[in-house]
Structure 1
Amino acid sequence: MRSDRTYRVVVRIIGGIFRVLGVRFTVRGGEHLPRTGGAVVASNHISFIDFTVVGYAARDRGRLVRFMSKTSVFEVPVVGRLMRAMGHIPVDRWTGASAYRRARRLLAHGEVVGVFPEATISRSWRVKRLKPGAAGLALSRDVPLVPCVLWGAHRILTVDGRRSLRRGIPVTVLLGEPLVPRADETADELTDRLHEAMSTLLAEAVDAYPDVPRDDADRWWVPHDRGGTAPDVETAAALDREALRRIGAPGD
């Protein structure tokens, strides 16, 4: 399948870029991603490169994750063409039903669908309130919902002009035990379980992270309640609403 060939080439290229940057990857819990069959991977969202990190981490399981991503990404020259060739799913804010149907078809054919249920990057670096789409997909096809968290990727490229090409930045990827939909469980109930699982994984990732800020100016990537200068959850939510207002998008 053409998209698979393109995807594998892109993964190799991304791997080469990560090696040039000396990114120090730690992936734990990879065994929780099924080697075969449909599954939904739900990840936190802290940087502009999150989908490349999750996709790169999934390579050891031989899986190609088809990510649901906002339509604007597909409108970027070259990037959009690659995204389509790799089989990713454009999501329009106003007509998301077609993307949802496509994701369900992929799950029915044994694919892995990647979702960022926070919808936008978390400026607090904490797990935000989750939208129920990931849980709804898992329920609709009775497939495992795999919680995933990233930590460190935000130090490479994220919102508000934060970026760094410094070599040797550690990036952690943790995958948790799959959440199997229970009988008569609603999407909201499964979403609550997902939020709890992701929050627990994120705490583990932060606790085990091998780097500390170099100085006070470098504390921006550390959560507020861990002594960093990232905005607290309430302030971050206000910043998110302002950012959405500037682009004319609907808020939560």
Structure 2
Amino acid sequence: MIVGRASREKTRPSLFWLLAMIVVPIVGWLARIEIRGAHHLPRDGAYVMAPNHHSEIDPLTVAVATWKIGRAPRFMAKESLFRVPVLGSALKATGMVPVTRGKSGAAQSMEQASELVRGARGVIVYPEGTLTRDPDLWPMRGKSGAVRLALAGDIPLIPVAHWGEQQFMPRYGKLKPFPPRRRVTVLIGEPVDLSDLSGRAHEASALSEATTRLMDEISRLLGELRDEAPPKERWDPVRRGQNETGRM
């Protein structure tokens, strides 16, 4: 099912068609995905989609939702993976966005943004950088990657919240395939207004302000899905003394 008009990148034959034939039925067994706010995702042109991240499987549900809306789901990938035989060719063929460790963030974001604009492509970037450490699965403190990319190319920054994957794939837990078709809701918000920060992708204060706006909106959207008020203070793994694996 397509929620709205499909873009040219989806209607044109590509490797995504083959991937969709495999992934969509698998995800469809696990989840009955309901999409809200699909009209906020641009049908054409570049965009940066920024979802919350509370389950190891949610990249698949977000990707399927993006495909159903009518856009091809693309993610960031380590540059080294592009040199792996077969895998590298697949990543290039599907337009995944390479990330080079050690390269200047500003310079890299400008290159990535320019490529997205030239190719009229979107990319999915998890602003938290990893699974949330918040005990109640609320979004934790965000990083600047998504907003840096959006500001560098003046690209729409689309906040997304999703909820329900924890029913069959709890954070750090095992997959529970039965019962099938648990409800997952994906809520796409209006683009975050960064107009007053335009041209300031190199300024730390602008990146901090843009990241705060983005995480506030993702939290608000998730609160709408959960029918709960998000916490006033976001979980900060650095202040809590946790490392990237979430262990003390």
**Which residue matches 2:174?**
162
Q: Which runs of 5+ in 2 are unaligned?
A: 1-8, 199-205
Consecutive unaligned residues in structure 1, runs of 5 or more: 209-223, 226-231, 247-252
Partner residue of 1:120? Answer: 130
User: What does residue 227 of structure 2 align with?
Assistant: 207
Aligned to 1:55: 63
**Alignment equivalent of 2:245, drawn from 243, 246, 251:** 243
1:86 aligned residue (88, 91, 94): 94
Q: CA RMSD in A?
A: 3.5
CA displacement 1:9-51 (0-9 Å, x = unmatched): 2123211112333x11111011100101111111111122222
- Alignment partners' CA distance in 2, 1:72 and 1:240: 27
Q: Percent identity?
A: 34
Q: Secondary structure at the match of 1:11?
A: helix
Cα drift, residue 93 of structure 1: 4.6
Aligned-partner Cα distance in 1 for 2:152–2:142? 18
Residues 105 and 49 (structure 1), Cα distance of their counterparts in 2 relative to 1, 3 Å cut: farther
Tell me how far apart the structure 2 counterparts of residues 82 and 237 of structure 1 sit (CA, whole Å). 39
SS of match in other structure, 2:75: strand
User: Residues 65 and 111 of structure 1 are in contact (CA less than 8 Å); yes or no, is this contact kept in structure 2?
Assistant: no
Match of 1:7 in 2: 16
Q: Does 1:129 align with 2:141?
A: yes
Measure the CA separation in 2 of the matches of 1:36 and 1:156.
33
2:213 match: 193
Of 91, 111, 120, which aligns to 2:121?
Answer: 111
- Give yes or no for the alignment of 1:20 onto 2:48: no
CA distance in 2, matches of 1:158, 1:73: 27
Q: Tell me the TM-score normalised to structure 2 length.
A: 0.74
Cα offset, 1:105, TM superposition? 2.8
Deviation of 1:130 (Å)? 0.8
The amino acid of 1:145's aligned partner reads L
- Classify the secondary structure of the residue corresponding to 2:243: helix
